[in-house]
Amino acid sequence: MATLPAAEIRRAVRQGLEEDLILGDATTTSIFSSPVKAHAKIIAQQPLVVAGMAAAVQTFLMIDPSLRLSVFKRDGDRAMNGEPLLHIEGDGRSILQAERVALNFLQHLSGIATLTQRFCRAVRGYPASIMDTRKTLPGWRALQKWAVSLGGGINHRQSLGDGILIKDNHLALLRRHRRPVKQACQLAHAHRSNELPVIVEVESLSEVRQALAGKPDVILLDNMPPDLVRRAVTLIKKQSLVEVSGGITLKNVRAMAAAGADRISIGALTHSAPAATISLVMTVARPSRRQRA
């Protein structure tokens, strides 16, 4: 499981609060001129993998360090429908100001972690790893990839410098060569530093043969149906790791694993995961018996 640096969480929280409170909270300040004692619970409204709790906690505390928080579910925990995730007690005005930003973190990141877990469960029994891609929101990559790891997935490249991934548009610029896939792999091996892995994307069995001649670490089979993946795996004979990508869904991911893929990379984990259904319910704190007397 990847570890997200505390500094990255604080950066994201500060950015979220600056965005939401750039002009203050016109609604809350117009209605409440003094503190209002309140309790609030954040509740899961579906089965989910919790992700974003650390960010949610930081959000409330950045707004008001005097808020008292009780965490029921931590990042990576499973929660069932109706289970409380977090309890907050203190000034209701502060809770209102932090509510949307805190829920944005929890709903979006828990959605990613939950979808990733579903894909991991779909390939259970096969050695294939579920991986993410760089199809992430600008500024949110570390958070989104962290959520993938919480759901049981593995992170692909964090940036362009983390590996050599030769894609179709790289190959398009090499079409003047008779065997562009082989040529690209050879160039990558000759110029790579720090033993970066060489991954090449192919779309046909003839390109698989070219790739094998270039000896990449990973051959990425792009948009191939399972039967063609199986034929490619037979051709590759473990000379390279086999990755499949493109059009992967919960309906076909197990067939891809059964065809022999070592890795299955899925852009939808980060760019299309549905937000988890999570709500915040607030109540006004009841006065103590001494206060009522």
Enumerate the active-site residues: 100, 135, 167, 201, 222
How far apart CA 95 and CA 44 sit, in angstroms, is 18
Contact 58, 13 (CB under 8 A): yes
C-alpha closest to that of 94 among 141, 34, 147: 34
Contact 256, 228 (CB under 8 A): no
How far apart CA 283 and CA 293 sit, in angstroms, is 22
How far apart CA 200 and CA 219 sit, in angstroms, is 5
**To which residue do tokens 């579906």 refer?**
46
Query: Measuring CA to CA, how many Å separate 173 from each of 83, 169, 177, 208?
Result: 54, 7, 9, 19
Residue 103: Cβ within 10 Å count: 19
**To which residue do tokens 């919480």 refer?**
150
Q: Kindly tell me the sign of the dihedral angle through the C-alpha atoms of 204, 209, 215, 217.
A: positive
Angle separating helix axes 141-150 and 92-122, nearest 10 degrees: 60
Those residues whose C-beta lies under 8 Å from the C-beta of residue 193, and which sit 6 or more positions away, are: none
Q: Strand order in 68-71's β-sheet?
A: 68-71, 84-91, 37-44, 278-284
